Amino acid sequence: MGRYVARRLLQMIPVFLGSTLLIFSMMYALPGDPVRALYGEQAIDQAQIAEIKRSLGLDKPFLLQYWDYLTGLFQGDFGTQIASQQPVADVIADAFPITARLTIFAFLFTVVVGITLGVVAGLRPDTLVDKSLLALTLLLISVPSFVLGYAFQYFFAFQLGWVDPNVNDPENYGQLLLPAIVLGSLSLAYVARLTRTSIAENLRADYVRTAVAKGLPRRRIVGVHLMRNSLIPVVTFLGSDLGALMGGAVVTEGIFNVRGVGYTVYEALSRREGSTVVGVVTLIVIIYLVCSLLVDLLYAVLDPRIRYA
């Protein structure tokens, strides 16, 4: 077990290097000059631009810049923003908890509601309940999140007045509720469908029949035997989904005025704040890698047949 985890952690290093290099090179290739753009349409001062770039190391060749970035990163330095001159670490530390909160909120919503719906439908395959769940999830998947966001905002906030249309205080969970639901709805649909399929499939499995034959109470059959086996594909999906949720927050955060990672990246991208974009994406990649490791370890818990050497 320990060796397995160690090996997986070692495998993360090339992935980590690869993804930072990928994003870093893309940022490098972007047209536009962040320092020059600070001057906007007004008169510009070439000598000053050159000096600012030199002091930030932006005049160095690409690989050298990447090397500087990496060595900085290993000393815990994410770089400095060009315009605000704030450490990127501070910028991320400001934005990240907000998105984390939103994402975890959305994630919990996805898990709780999605699995419940899936179990309810899966236990009664091909009934009206099951069919309407299928229709609902299909609809959720096909409506893009920006459309859903505006629709929900318009309906629940403006028409019904149940919730605030915008998030002004990212620590108020009441305000985060709507964006979290919008953010989580796509995953919710997937989770519900996966659970439903898996439950329906396992319902016909031998071990369930055996359990029924043994006369075990239905609650125990569903709660222990069925759930434990049916959740494996769901857990796989959820593991890869957390990172995607954070990435998808760009749209949701924009609609609901949440000042999280998505907003930060969007802004940093249009201002060519390379180190900020690379920093955020790197962080999400790490989260993704850690989550997929956790998922694999969870298998062992869910499925006793799996052992790690």
Partner 1 sequence: MPEALDTSAKKLPAGEPATVPVPVDAKAEKTRSLWSDAWHDLRRSPMFVISAVLIVLLLVMAAFPGLFTGASPRDADLSNHYLGAPNWSHFFQADWLGYDGQGRSIWARMVHGARASIIVSVGVTALVTILGTLVGVLAGYFGGWLDAILFRLTDVFSGIPFMLGAMVVLTTFAERTVWVVVLALAFLGWTTIARVARGSVITIKQADYVTAAKALGASTSRILFRHILPNAIAPVIVVATIALGGYIAAEATLSYLGIGLAEPTVSWGIDVSAGKDQLRNAPHVLMMPSVMVSITVLAFLMFGEAVRNALDPKMR
Partner 2 sequence: MRGAKSAKWVAGAIVVALAATACGGGSEDGGNKTAGQPDGYVSIDVGEPQKPLVPADTNESLGAYVIKALFTGPVSYDAEGNLEMANAESVETEDSKTWTIKLKQGWKFHDGTPVTAKTYVDAWNWYANIKNNQQNSFWFADIAGYEDVHPESGDPKGDTMSGLKVVDETTFTVELTNPVPYWEYKLGYSTFAPLPEAFYKDPKGFGQKPVGNGPYKFEKWDHKKLIQVAAWDEYQGDNKAKNKGILFKNYTTVEAAYQDLLSGNLDMIRQVGPKDLPKYKQDLGDRAVDAPYAAIQGITPVFYSKQWKDIDPKVLQGLSMAIDRETITKTVLNGTRTPAKSFTPPQVNGNQDLDTDVFTYNPEKAKQLIKEGGGVPDNKIFIQFNADGGHKEWVTAVCESIRNATGVDCVGDAKPDFQTDLEARDNDQVKSFYRGGWVADYPLNVNFLRELYWSKAEANNGRFSDEEIDKLFQQGDNAATLEESIKAYQEAEKVVLEKMPSIPLWYYRINGGHSENVDNVNVDFHGDFVLDEVTVK
CB of 40 to partner 1, least distance (A): 19
Shortest distance in whole angstroms from residue 146 CB to partner 1: 5
* Total count of residues recorded for the chain: 309
Q: With binding defined as CB under 8 A, does residue 232 bind partner 1?
A: yes
Please state, in angstroms and rounded to a whole number, the distance separating the CA atoms of residues 179 and 290.
25
Q: Which is nearer to partner 2, 163 or 295 (CB)?
A: 163
Q: What is the DSSP string of 204-269?
A: TSHHHHHHHHTT--HHHIIIIIIHHHHHHHHHHHHHHHHHHHHHHHHHHHHHHT--SHHHHHHHHH
Pair 230, 202: CB distance under 8 Å = yes
For residue 199, state whether it binds partner 1 (rule: CB under 8 A).
no
Q: What is d(CA 268, CA 225) in angstroms, rounded to the nearest whole number?
A: 49
Which of residues 192 and 251 has its CB atom nearest to partner 1 in the complex?
Answer: 251
Residue (of 41, 65, 43) closest to 54 by Cα position: 65
The answer to whether residue 173 forms part of the interface with partner 2 (CB under 8 A) is: yes
Answer with the entry of partner 1, partner 2, none that 83 interacts with (C-beta below 5 to 8 A by kind): partner 2
What single letter denotes the amino acid at residue 44? I
- Closest separation in Å from C-beta 270 to partner 2: 4
Task: For residues 235 and 173, give the distance between their C-alpha atoms in angstroms, rounded to a whole number.
Answer: 26
> Hunting for tokens 């949440």 — which residue is that?
258
160 binds partner 1 (CB under 8 A): no
Residues between 114 and 143 with contacts to partner 1, criterion CB under 8 A = 138-139, 141-143
* Distance separating alpha carbons of residues 132 and 222, to the nearest angstrom: 22
Binding-site member from 3, 10, 31, 74 for partner 1 (CB under 8 A):
31
Those residues whose C-beta lies under 8 Å from the C-beta of residue 204, and which sit 6 or more positions away, are none
Q: Which residues bind partner 1 (CB under 8 A)?
A: 11, 14-15, 18-19, 22-23, 26-27, 29-31, 138-139, 141-147, 150, 154, 197, 201, 232-233, 236, 240, 243-244, 246-248, 250-251, 254, 265-266, 269-270, 277, 280-281, 284-285, 288-289, 296, 299, 306, 308
Q: Which residues bind partner 2 (CB under 8 A)?
A: 30-34, 36-48, 50-52, 55, 83-86, 90-91, 94-98, 100-101, 104-105, 108-109, 160-163, 165-166, 168-169, 171-174, 176-177, 253-254, 257-259, 263, 270-272
